[in-house]
Amino acid sequence: RRRGVGLRRDTVLATLPVAVAAVIGAAGPTAADTTGAPGAGDPYFPLSGNGGYHVRHYDLTLRYDTSSRHLDGEAVLTARATQNLSRFDLDLQGLKVSGVTVDGAPAAFRRVGQELVVTSRHTLRTGRNFRVTVAYNGTPKPVTDPDGSTDGWIPTDDGAFVAGEPQGAMTWFPANNHPKDKASYDFTITVPQGRTAVANGDLLAQRTTHGRTTFRWRETQPMASYLATATIGNFEVEQYTTRDGIHVYNAVDPREASAAAPVLKQLPSVLAWESKLFGPYPYRSAGSIVDHAPDTGYALETQTRPLYDSAPDLNTLVHENTHQWFGDSVSLTSWKDIWLNEGFATYTEWLYAEQHGGDSAQKTFDADYARPASDPLWAYPPGDPGSGKNIFGTPVYVRAAMTLHELRKAVGDGDFFRILRAWTAGHRDGHGTTAQFVRLAEGTSGKRLAGLFHTWLYARGKPNSA
Ligand code: ARG
Ligand code: ZN
């Protein structure tokens, strides 16, 4: 079943001649009224997420065979109906579904592309809490994104690199796969003995029996599905608690260990420095997963524990941990606002250099501003990248960082850092939009900033004067 997102059946019916509407409506008007939308309404990824309910908690039980690459999964979702629902979708790409229940009763289901369409026996009333279980299995494959990159469950020579931005969560569990809908998570992951499975939050237990090890992880704070991981490999593990009481869990592929060690050692001081800038670190646990995944080509700010495809440099460590505040704790409501994630993480790299004996942010800005008008940096405006193809392009990282530098110069350091701290405090464990950020910046500084944001976020081409 595919229909235009936002094209409501009742709207369609209203525009048709009465006789035609009667035929289309023969199934009864309630059938349409109780169907959850197949997408969350994001124009860049129309089928990501779903309408009609919020997921509060995912309880995922996974067993992965690293040699056959077979995954067995059971997902238990605790959700709440936001409309009367007799039918709703989950996002799941590939894999075979062997059974679905709603509140313990077997439910009918079918697969339409990335949509798992579930029909419940009884209509779930608005506001009602319900539980969905999905049993599934198969060989997970990553999804190819509009920009040609891949994400999701990416097999490696010793396990899997699991990174879901923007779409890939659905390659390994059934989800309401849009950052609008955040939930807490439990993970129970069983892998061959000797391999380590690393997810988000706290490690609750680790037990080996009959040649297999089961890892139980829990993330209690709201998390977008793309930030969930279950990365598996042959890892060296290190655990300690920082002076600020943050539990650190690092998992490092031995092939990356010597390159990673000096950088990972800086994590406590990087988090302490970022906490001074942005306000308290939003989570109880932290850490790093350093994989050896040569074909991936990016790192991801997986919540509490960023994931690297190889030993990161210090800039990348600073960048991914900045996302814990900007992107993870304060989430997007629309992929179009991606600069709120990437611009802030990139600008923090500039600030880190400035405050640690490197180039000033102004110097970095000047070097980028000197790029010719034909440079990809100016290809499209960061506040309106235009499509999912552009969400990880240079303007979203660098021109968005330049936007923040312009803001800082316009309001001064005092107000600039007040704005950042008010943002992370006011939207903690929640969401933020570009319009809310602009309003906060104007409110905090008492300045009109619409022109500045227009020039740097929305105007096409290279802005005229810096
Ligand atoms: N958010 C990641 C970063 O820190 C980038 C993720 C890229 N994902 C992708 N499918 N290309 O910059
Ligand atoms: Zn980033």
Residue 315 in contact with ligand 1 by CB distance below 6 A: no
Question: How much distance in Å is there from the Cα of 10 to the middle of ligand 1?
Answer: 39
Instruction: Choose the residue to mutate in 300, 308, 332 for probing ligand 1, maximizing ligand atoms within 8 Å of C-beta.
Output: 300
Question: How much distance in Å is there from the Cα of 396 to the middle of ligand 2?
Answer: 10
Pick from 142, 90, 138, 141: which is nearest to 114 by CA?
A: 90
Mean pLDDT within 187-191: 99
Residue 165 in contact with ligand 1 by CB distance below 6 A: yes
**pLDDT higher than threshold 90 for residue 11:** no
Q: Is 212 exposed, middle or buried (0-12, 13-18, 19+ CB in 10 A)?
A: middle
Q: What is the pLDDT of residues 409-435, one digit of tens each?
A: 999 999 999 999 999 999 999 999 999
Residue 106 CB neighbour total at 10 angstroms: 11
Q: What is the pLDDT of residues 48-58, one digit of tens each?
A: 999 999 999 99
Question: How much distance in Å is there from the Cα of 149 to the middle of ligand 1?
Answer: 9
Residue 298 in contact with ligand 1 by CB distance below 6 A: yes
Mean pLDDT within 2-18: 36
- Minimum-distance ligand 1 atom for the alpha carbon of 168: 10
Residue ranges in 279-356 assigned as alpha helix (H) = 314-322, 339-355
Report residue 388's pLDDT band, with 50, 70 and 90 as the boundaries.
very high
Residue 145 in contact with ligand 1 by CB distance below 6 A: yes
**Contacts for 310 with CB less than 8 Å, ≥ 6 apart:** 256, 259, 290, 291, 292, 293, 294
Pick from 465, 461, 407: which is nearest to 438 by CA?
A: 407
418-429 core/surface letters (b: 16 or more CB in 10 A; e: else): bbbbbbbeebbe
Q: Is 104 exposed, middle or buried (0-12, 13-18, 19+ CB in 10 A)?
A: exposed
**Contacts for 183 with CB less than 8 Å, ≥ 6 apart:** 54, 55, 56, 57, 58, 176, 222, 223, 225
Residue ranges in 18-171 assigned as alpha helix (H) = 18-24, 29-33
- Minimum-distance ligand 1 atom for the alpha carbon of 297: 11
Length of the chain, in residues: 466
**pLDDT higher than threshold 80 for residue 30:** no
pLDDT of residue 32: 59
**Contacts for 367 with CB less than 8 Å, ≥ 6 apart:** none
Q: Is 336 left (phi over 0), alpha (psi -120 to 50) or beta?
A: alpha
Question: How much distance in Å is there from the Cα of 133 to the middle of ligand 2?
Answer: 33
**pLDDT higher than threshold 60 for residue 6:** no
pLDDT of residue 212: 98
What mean pLDDT, rounded, does the chain reach?
94
pLDDT of residue 160: 98
Q: What is the pLDDT of residues 325-351, one digit of tens each?
A: 999 999 999 999 999 999 999 999 999
Q: What whole-number percentage of the chain has pLDDT above 70?
A: 93
Residue 294 CB neighbour total at 10 angstroms: 10
**pLDDT higher than threshold 50 for residue 4:** no
Rounded Cα–Cα distance for residues 220 and 457 (Å) = 34
Q: What whole-number percentage of the chain has pLDDT above 90?
A: 92
pLDDT of residue 33: 86
Question: How much distance in Å is there from the Cα of 413 to the middle of ligand 2?
Answer: 23
Identify residues whose C-beta is under 5 A from ligand 2, the ion: 342, 345
Question: What ipTM goes with this model?
Answer: 0.98
pLDDT of residue 9: 34
Torsion sign (Cα): 439, 441, 445, 448: negative
Distances 329 to 282, 306, 395 between C-alpha atoms, Å: 7, 14, 23
Rounded Cα–Cα distance for residues 429 and 279 (Å) = 13
Report residue 194's pLDDT band, with 50, 70 and 90 as the boundaries.
very high
Q: Which ligand is nearest to the CA of 349?
A: 2
Residue 275 CB neighbour total at 10 angstroms: 15
Radius of gyration of the chain (CA): 23
Query: How far is Cα of residue 354 from the mean position of the Cα atoms in its chain?
Result: 29
Instruction: Choose the residue to mutate in 392, 394, 396, 398 for probing ligand 1, maximizing ligand atoms within 8 Å of C-beta.
Output: 392
- Which 3 state secondary structure label does DSSP give 317? helix
pLDDT of residue 10: 36
Residue 261 contacts residue 226 (beta carbons within 8 Å): no
- Minimum-distance ligand 1 atom for the alpha carbon of 327: 1
- Minimum-distance ligand 1 atom for the alpha carbon of 151: 10
Q: Which ligand is nearest to the CA of 389?
A: 1
